[in-house]
Amino acid sequence: MVKKACVCSVSDLLAPHAARVEGDLHRWLVERGTPDELAEAMRYCVDGGKRLRPAIVHLTHEALGPGEEDLAARAAVAVELVHCYSLVHDDLPAMDDDVLRRGRPTAHVKFGQAMAILAGDALLTRAFGVLADSGRRLAGAVAGELALAAGGAGMIAGQVADMKLCRLPAGQGGLRFMHERKTAALIRAAARMGAICGRAAGPEVQAVGDYGLSLGLAFQLFDDLLDATASAEAIGKTPGKDARAGKRTYVTELGLDRARALGEELTQQAVAALAPLGRRAAVLSELAELLARRTH
């Protein structure tokens, strides 16, 4: 575990893990035989992320491990590849039609729609390839978590809801349905994948999963708050776009003050879920608290 004298921000806390993930991502991303043009687009699609989800894999693995170090590193890469593919496809003209992501042109603006669709498909496929290539028996359980969280009853259901392609309950119930699937399911899976790699017991996997779900909801809520209040420079994407697109967000539903209060409540739920793990979970609690105070 990497110790720092003063962890003052999310970036400080994630930095050592994010650095490791960068190396692993670029080592495993492109298979031999991939056309150069596709490889370039795939690299572009994964560059520049905060690496929150893979860091959560590493943090839960460290908290509940040791064991299966290589598989945990692969799980971290896999969850980030799934996250990156989802951004690329969500940004497409037929979806959110966004032109700015991580402070740069979105993949379809840079490479055209066909390449953006295919690069996204390649990232999703590679996520499962990276796990399978481990040769480890536990890889199946890890892949199962990822597929469930990313699939038609998980992240994709969330995007279907966000695109108003399915019926939803009115008000906060509908928002929660969407965010649980679109954002929180994958963060929950990241936490569970790290725990599974660390050969944690069932109740421990459950505890970090509950933490991940509340953390994911809080993370999305604070994202909505930042979208409503921050500048493009600070957040690296088009701000205020949700409101202009007529999208329901926690801010449009609740107003800024009640949304902030709900964010605090979700953060406390995330921390409370970790109680069964005692001191081992200190850094996970700290991450939840720091995410509630981030400004970008």
Binding stretches for a second copy (CB under 8 A) = 30-39, 42, 85, 89, 92, 94-95, 112-115, 117-118, 120-122, 124-126, 128-129, 131-137, 139-141, 143-144, 146-148, 150-154, 156-157, 159-161, 163, 165-167
- CB nearer to a second copy: pick between 12 and 97: 97
Exposed/middle/buried for residue 278 (C-beta within 10 Å: 0-12, 13-18, 19+) = exposed
Q: How far is the CB of 151 from a second copy (least distance, A)?
A: 4
Q: What angle do CA 288, 294, 296 make, to 5 degrees?
A: 135
Strand, helix or coil for residue 102: coil
Q: Around Cβ 221, how many Cβ atoms within 10 Å?
A: 26
Burial class of residue 162, CB neighbours in 10 A (0-12, 13-18, 19+) = buried
Decide whether 156 or 225 has the Cβ nearer to a second copy: 156
Q: Quick one: 76 or 146, whose CB is closer to a second copy?
A: 146
Least distance between a second copy and beta carbon 24 (Å): 17
CA 235 – CA 230 distance, rounded (Å): 7
Contact between residue 126 and residue 31 where contact means Cβ atoms under 8 Å apart: yes
> At 101, which helix (H) or strand (E)?
strand 100-101
Q: Are 250 and 217 in contact (CB under 8 A)?
A: no
User: Residue 109 CB, nearest distance to a second copy (Å)?
Assistant: 13
Instruction: Note whether 55 and 21 are within 8 A (CB).
Output: yes
Minimum distance from residue 138 beta carbon to a second copy (Å): 9
- Other CB atoms within a 10 A radius of the CB of residue 265 amount to 14
DSSP 184: I
Dihedral sign for Cα 188, 194, 197, 200, please: negative
58/126 with CB nearer a second copy: 126
| Residue 32 Cβ vs a second copy, minimum distance, rounded to whole Å | 6
Minimum Å gap between C-beta 118 and a second copy is: 5
Tell me whether residue 1 or residue 165 sits nearer to a second copy (CB atom).
Answer: 165
* Nearer to a second copy (CB atom), residue 37 or residue 70: 37
Smallest distance from the beta carbon of 72 to a second copy, in angstroms? 16
Instruction: Output 76 or 124, the one with its CB closest to a second copy.
Output: 124
